Chain A
């Protein structure tokens, strides 16, 4: 059963079948919230003691002396991130979710990027943790 209030404050009561209700609800949700409201949300809660021991996904890239490497546009580098105990120190791994330096990648103009030291402006080389923007948000 649905109660509809009109602009002139008259109320109407209608009975909708379950199928009608579902369709109406779906349309209403789309109209009211818009499709953007259905973007998937995946958040991980942090709590003091657990945060120190929790890890998030990352990839350790061995950046060559040119400083250039392949990554996604939205990736972030974390040159001082600490690899979680027991996880690999190269390739896909996990790093501690603790506060650390996070740097937005700099596009080189080709399909590659550099991870530039914010103090010197020179690109980092050697092993550096690369994280997706979502994973990086857990390194508060």
Chain B
């Protein structure tokens, strides 16, 4: 899974437990929580497989990877990909 240039240009504003995120490339504003923000943060320094992203995210939240429901996690990654923020390639949790 790879972070795309549009994600590197995001403008972040913390708002309680959430983040207001402006995406200049689409002129859209998104609301992320800590979990979705960590998904992007996990691939900021380089590509990672999806399973590793899930484990890293869970670890940062003080959870085990099993606490992050694969379907929900997968859906969020799919949405982030639709927004043009990351490229998952053929990486899916089900395939791992």
**B79–A50 touching, CB < 8 Å:** no
Q: How large is the interface on A (under 10, 10 to 19, 20 to 34, 35 or more residues)?
A: 20 to 34
**A132–B82 touching, CB < 8 Å:** yes
A134 to B39, CA, bound (A): 17
**A44–B32 touching, CB < 8 Å:** no
Number of interface residues of B (CB under 8 A): 29
Note all chain A residues with C-beta closer than 8 A to B68: 35, 38-40
Residue in B34, B61, B69, B80 whose CB lies within 8 Å of A42: B80
Over the window 65-108 of chain A, the binary record of Cβ atoms lying under 8 Å from chain B Cβ atoms (1 yes, 0 no) is 00000000010000000000000000000000000000000000
- Output the least CB separation between B87 and chain A (Å): 12
**A57–B72 touching, CB < 8 Å:** no
**B82–A40 touching, CB < 8 Å:** no
Note all chain A residues with C-beta closer than 8 A to B18: 41
Over the window 54-96 of chain B, the binary record of Cβ atoms lying under 8 Å from chain A Cβ atoms (1 yes, 0 no) is 0000000111000111001101101111110000000000000
Name A14-43 residues within 8 Å CB distance of B. 22-23, 25-27, 29-30, 35-36, 38-43
Note all chain B residues with C-beta closer than 8 A to A54: 26-28
Given A132-B82, A135-B79, A135-B82: A41 in contact with B27 (beta carbons within 8 A): no
Given A26-B62, A41-B18, A44-B28: A57 in contact with B82 (beta carbons within 8 A): yes
For residue B39, which residue of chain A has the nearest CB?
A: A40
- Output the least CB separation between A20 and chain B (Å): 13
For residue A34, which residue of chain B has the nearest CB?
A: B67
